Amino acid sequence: MTTTGHATASDSMKVTVLAAARLVAVRFAPDTALTGAHGTRMVDALKTVVGARGDLFGLMADARGVTGTDAEYRAVTGAFFRAHRDDARIALTNLAPVVRILAEMFRVGIGLQLKTFPDEAAARSWLRTQGVG
């Protein structure tokens, strides 16, 4: 479930939509393997902050606890980000080594503005320099 302005949680994923900032923040429970359901939930939240073409929006994801992704997750999120590669800015923190490799393959394969950061403060700072937040 996703709400605007405050956090809601499912059993393995917490999504916060900050509509005024055009930003979606996501956190995961420990030992979460991302599935198509996770991807759909995230994309649905992102659709609420997408504006007209050229309006930047962001995703800030704390990936602590993520153990991997399945093909359906990659398909759902890949299709969304391909359509928004010029407008989306993605800031990731706390990536396990395997997840870092998956994120880098996603960045290169789709041509995204995606960066990894050591902490949330650095991620937020970069997003602000990109015009998000």
Which domains are assigned to the chain?
7-128 (3.30.750.24)
Residue 6 pLDDT exceeds 50? no
Mean of pLDDT values over 65-93: 96
**Cβ-contact 100, 89 below 8 angstroms:** no
Residue 5 pLDDT exceeds 90? no
Burial class (CB in 10 A: 0-12, 13-18, 19+), 78: middle
Pairwise CA distance, residues 31 & 96, whole Å: 11
Residue 26 pLDDT exceeds 90? yes
For β-strands 88-93 and 57-62, DSSP reports them as: parallel
Question: 40 is written with which tokens?
Answer: 């759909």
Length of the chain: 133
pTM of this structure: 0.90
Q: Which of 89, 99, 91, 39 is nearest to 67 (CA)?
A: 99
Express each pLDDT in 38-67 by its tens digit: 999 999 999 999 987 778 999 999 999 999
pLDDT for res 54: 75
pLDDT band at 117 (very low <50, low <70, confident <90, very high): very high
Residue 11 pLDDT exceeds 90? no
